[in-house]
Amino acid sequence: MENLRLSRTTYQLIERAVKALERIGQELERYNDRHERDDVVTAGIDADGAGRDES
Protein backbone atom coordinates (compact mmCIF):
# COMPACT_ATOMS: atom_id res chain seq x y z
CA MET A 1 0.00 0.00 0.00
CA GLU A 2 1.21 3.47 -0.76
CA ASN A 3 2.28 5.74 2.06
CA LEU A 4 -0.17 8.54 2.78
CA ARG A 5 0.85 11.86 4.18
CA LEU A 6 -1.90 13.26 6.39
CA SER A 7 -2.08 16.58 8.10
CA ARG A 8 -1.96 16.54 11.88
CA THR A 9 -5.61 17.57 12.04
CA THR A 10 -6.70 14.77 9.72
CA TYR A 11 -4.67 12.22 11.68
CA GLN A 12 -6.20 13.40 14.97
CA LEU A 13 -9.69 13.22 13.50
CA ILE A 14 -9.12 9.66 12.31
CA GLU A 15 -7.64 8.72 15.67
CA ARG A 16 -10.68 10.10 17.50
CA ALA A 17 -13.04 8.29 15.12
CA VAL A 18 -11.25 4.97 15.71
CA LYS A 19 -11.44 5.46 19.50
CA ALA A 20 -15.14 6.30 19.23
CA LEU A 21 -15.80 3.15 17.17
CA GLU A 22 -13.88 1.06 19.71
CA ARG A 23 -15.99 2.53 22.51
CA ILE A 24 -19.20 1.83 20.59
CA GLY A 25 -18.06 -1.77 20.09
CA GLN A 26 -17.39 -2.16 23.81
CA GLU A 27 -20.79 -0.73 24.71
CA LEU A 28 -22.51 -3.06 22.20
CA GLU A 29 -20.74 -6.04 23.77
CA ARG A 30 -21.88 -4.96 27.24
CA TYR A 31 -25.44 -4.46 25.96
CA ASN A 32 -25.50 -7.89 24.29
CA ASP A 33 -24.00 -9.62 27.32
CA ARG A 34 -26.57 -8.02 29.62
CA HIS A 35 -29.46 -9.04 27.38
CA GLU A 36 -28.14 -12.58 27.00
CA ARG A 37 -28.06 -12.90 30.80
CA ASP A 38 -31.58 -11.49 31.03
CA ASP A 39 -32.77 -13.98 28.39
CA VAL A 40 -31.25 -16.88 30.35
CA VAL A 41 -32.94 -15.71 33.55
CA THR A 42 -36.25 -15.20 31.75
CA ALA A 43 -35.98 -18.64 30.14
CA GLY A 44 -35.34 -20.16 33.57
CA ILE A 45 -38.42 -18.46 35.03
CA ASP A 46 -40.53 -19.57 32.05
CA ALA A 47 -39.25 -23.14 32.42
CA ASP A 48 -40.12 -23.15 36.14
CA GLY A 49 -43.64 -22.00 35.42
CA ALA A 50 -44.21 -24.39 32.54
CA GLY A 51 -46.77 -27.09 33.13
CA ARG A 52 -48.28 -25.52 36.23
CA ASP A 53 -52.02 -25.05 36.42
CA GLU A 54 -52.79 -21.60 37.80
CA SER A 55 -56.53 -22.25 38.28
* DSSP string for residues in 4-16: ----HHHHHHHHH
Query: What's the CA gap between 29 and 23, in Å, rounded?
Result: 10
Q: Is the pTM of this model over 0.75?
A: no
pLDDT score, position 40? 80
Query: What's the CA gap between 50 and 43, in Å, rounded?
Result: 10
Query: What's the CA gap between 14 and 1, in Å, rounded?
Result: 18
pLDDT score, position 4? 80
- Divide the 55 residues of the chain into consecutive groups of 10 and give the mean pLDDT of each group: 84 97 97 88 70 54
Query: What's the CA gap between 19 and 10, in Å, rounded?
Result: 14
Tell me how far the alpha carbon of residue 41 is from its chain's centroid: 19
